[in-house]
Amino acid sequence: MRYLPLAFDLKRRPCLIVGGGSIATRKARLLNKAEARLLVVAPEITDELRQLVLGSGGEYIVGRYHADLLKQADMVVAATNDASINATVSADAQALRLPVNVVDSPKHCTFTFPSIVERGPVSIGISSGGSAPVLTRMLRAQLETLLSPGLGLVAELAGRLRGKVKAALPEAQRKDFWHWVFNGPIVGQVERGDAANAEQTLLEELSRWEDRPAPSGEVYLIGGGPGDPDLLTFRALRLMQQADVVLYDRLVSTEVLELVRRDAERIYVGKKRQFHSVPQDDINQLLVDLAKEGKKVLRLKGGDPFIFGRGGEEIDRLAEAGVPFQVVPGITAAVGCSAYSGIPLTHRDHAQSVRFITGHLKEGDLVLPWRELVTPNQTIVFYMGLTGLPTIAQELIANGMDPETPAALVEKGTTREQRVVAGTIGTLPELAKTHNVEAPALTIIGGVVTLRDKLGWYK
């Protein structure tokens, strides 16, 4: 992120615009909405721009730019059709450490104008740092359709009553109160044009809020999928934004973790091969303890919580302790990684069944029903099988599997770092060494692997 999104308070502050045409006028409209005092210099100025300047209490100069004008400004916009003048304005402004924007020239900018979605005091800025303005406008259009036109009125109501709420409730209760306001009947009343009754409803609820019983805690057990944040469910995203604290493991991607509420406490409880930073029993008890403190606890797991994720053990402990919980399924690694690799697990010409197997070595041994696994027209997927891959290959071949059976390793599946190493069950252990395959990696064995060159779409 090269440009940090910030919100400037420009009310009555002088902003210099160099340029008087249509582009300068568009920038002036935005600055005028922010109640800035406009200063404009240009050989020619549009009528609309002139009116915007006068309405802001500013002034315009019909003439050429000179550096002395910067002494009057807190912010500068260069919007002429002369690249050399724009570059000069940028250099002069930066020499004085003034924030400067040069239209359509990101290299000369110290700030950029985002595409803005506005609902009263609520504003959302979407920026690409000047690299893809058409994309930001498209995203703005999508957000415009999602946000209620009455959202600004709700924000204004909250702003008017914020002081009363702060005086009436301790900090620990205020968050829950505002959460109720923005998710309850208040919004509907305001959007129906009944702001007076909405305010009365809010004040009545405020007067009795402290008498409410303390909110009970809850645990959200959520599958974060194999890595790509686009694979999360809507429900998962909603609960991730409500959590007070998140316990997450090593298989949760950075991109998925970024979608958790920013002020939530984060506790890493990940496990690496042959190393557990927090024992499972301690994780189970920590979920109970945090929930009994009245917190909304997010247990975020890679893949699906119930596919080799030990989620069943966690909810068993929660149920035993009487802690309420919700479970949100996630796309398990086998489904996500195979799809992103162009390997359909049950293509009818190659497999009529699929088996998910844990390849995790316990005390150096991997005890599995090997003969049952050597079945025609079946796909086998091994989770956590990278360390035990030589044993897996040896046992399958010893129990009758053809060494030429197609097999593949999918490393860091569904992420930008995804890599597929394909061969046969006989060659795969050596290929893993040659290509330095690292965990997390999934092993897929069966005829469906031969389809990846034809069907693979994620490169």
| Residue range(s) defining the domain that contains residue 235 | 218-331
Identify whether residues 225 and 185 lie together within a single domain. Answer: no
pLDDT number for residue 272: 58
> Where do the H-state alpha helices sit in 34-130?
47-55, 83-95
Kindly report which listed range (158-162, 183-187, 442-446) carries the lowest average pLDDT score. 183-187
Percent of the chain having pLDDT more than 70?
96
Question: How many domains does the chain fold into?
Answer: 4
Name which residue leads in pLDDT, 247 or 148. Answer: 247
Q: Is 305 annotated as a binding residue?
A: no
Q: Is the pTM of this model over 0.85?
A: no
Residue type, 26: R
Burial of residue 431 (CB within 10 Å: 0-12, 13-18, 19+) is: middle
Average pLDDT over residues 174-201: 84
Looking at the fold, whether 248 and 199 belong to one and the same domain comes out as: no
Whole-angstrom CA distances from 227 to 175, 258, 273 are: 31, 12, 19
pLDDT at 459 exceeding the cut of 60? no
| Residue 249 annotated among the catalytic residues of the structure | yes
The answer to whether 408 touches 435, Cβ cutoff 8 Å, is no
Does the annotation list 307 as a binding residue?
yes
pLDDT digits (tens, 9 = 90+) for 132-165: 889 999 998 888 877 777 888 889 999 999 999 9
414 marked as binding residue: no
> What CATH number is associated with residue 59?
3.40.50.720
The residue annotated as part of the active site, out of 249, 295, 301, 412, is: 249
Assess whether 82 and 61 both reside in one domain: yes
**Is 122 a domain residue?**
no
C-alpha span between 174 and 314 (Å, rounded): 31
The answer to whether the CB of 246 falls within 8 A of the CB of 224 is no
What percentage of residues in the chain have a pLDDT greater than 90? 70
Segments in 260-385 forming alpha helices (H)? 280-292, 311-321, 333-340, 370-373
Last residue of a domain, one of 303, 331, 359: 331
Q: Within a domain: residue 130?
A: no
Residues 296 and 390 grouped into a single domain:
no
**Residue 176 catalytic?**
no
The SS3 of residue 332 is coil
Q: Is residue 370 part of a domain?
A: yes
Q: Kindly report, residue by residue over 376-423, the tens digit of the pLDDT.
A: 999 999 998 899 999 999 999 999 999 999 999 999 999 999 999 999
End-to-end CA distance of the chain: 24
Task: Answer yes or no: is 344 within a domain.
Answer: yes
Give the residue with greater pLDDT, 458 vs 348. Answer: 348
302 annotated ligand-binding residue = yes
Q: Do 347 and 432 share a domain, yes or no?
A: yes
Instruction: Give the end of a domain, one of 211, 233, 253.
Output: 211
pLDDT level of residue 276 (50, 70, 90 thresholds): low
pLDDT band (50, 70, 90) for residue 367? confident
**Which residue is it, tokens 């991997």?**
366
44 is in an annotated binding site: yes
144 Cβ contact list (under 8 Å, min separation 6): 117
**How confident is the model at residue 455, as a pLDDT?**
79
Residue 143 within any structural domain of the chain:
no
74, 176, 271, 292: the active-site residue: 271
Per-residue pLDDT, 329: 96
Confirm whether 123 is domain-assigned.
Answer: no
Distance, in Å, from the CA atom of 340 to the CA atom of 420, rounded to the nearest integer, reads 10
User: What is the pLDDT confidence band of residue 130, given thresholds at 50, 70 and 90?
Assistant: confident
Q: SS3 of 381, please?
A: strand
Residue 30 has pLDDT above 70, yes or no: yes
Geometric angle at alpha carbon 135, from 133 and 141, rounded to 5°: 105
Minimal CA–CA distance to 141: which of 125, 117, 114? Answer: 117
CB 358 within 8 A of CB 368: no
Average pLDDT over residues 113-142: 88
Q: Taking a C-beta distance cutoff of 8 angstroms, is the pair 108, 102 a contact?
A: yes
Q: Would the pLDDT of 101 be above 60?
A: yes
Q: How far is CA 173 from CA 155, 180, 210, in A?
A: 19, 11, 8
Paired tokens of 413: 């599946």
**Mean pLDDT of the 432-458 span:** 90
Is 282 assigned to a binding site? no
Mean per-residue pLDDT for 10-17?
97
CA gap 346, 367 in Å, rounded: 26
Q: Are 324 and 369 in the same domain?
A: no
What does the block give as tokens for 287?
A: 């979920």
252 with 294, same domain?
yes
Pairing mode of beta strands 218-223, 325-328? parallel
What pLDDT, on a 0 to 100 scale, did the predictor assign at position 363? 58
Strands of 57-151, DSSP E: 59-62, 75-78, 100-102, 115-119, 122-126
CATH number for the domain spanning 234: value is 3.40.1010.10
Same domain, 224 and 283: yes
For residue 457, pLDDT beyond 80: no
Q: Is pLDDT of 275 > 80?
A: no
Q: How high is the pLDDT of residue 181?
A: 87
The stretch 252-261 carries a mean pLDDT of 94
Please indicate if the annotation marks 226 as binding a ligand.
yes
Same domain, 449 and 353: yes
On the question of pLDDT at 210 being above 90, the answer is: no
Query: Do 306 and 258 lie in a common domain?
Result: yes
Residue 6 included in any domain? no
343 and 445 fall within a common domain: yes
Q: Indicate if the pLDDT at residue 331 is higher than 90.
A: yes
Residue 222 assigned as binding residue: no
Tell me phi and psi for residue 118, to 5 degrees: -120, 130
**In this model, does residue 225 exceed pLDDT 90?**
yes
More reliable by pLDDT, 50 or 183? 50
Domain assignment of residue 137, yes or no: no
Kindly list the distances between the CA atom of residue 128 and the CA atoms of 30, 114, 229, 350, 394, in Å, as whole numbers in the listed order: 18, 8, 20, 45, 52
Task: Point out the domain boundary residue: 57, 87, 113.
Answer: 113
User: 363, exposed or middle or buried, with CB in 10 Å at 0-12, 13-18, 19+?
Assistant: exposed
Both 352 and 435 in one domain: the answer is yes
Over residues 39-53, the mean pLDDT reads 96
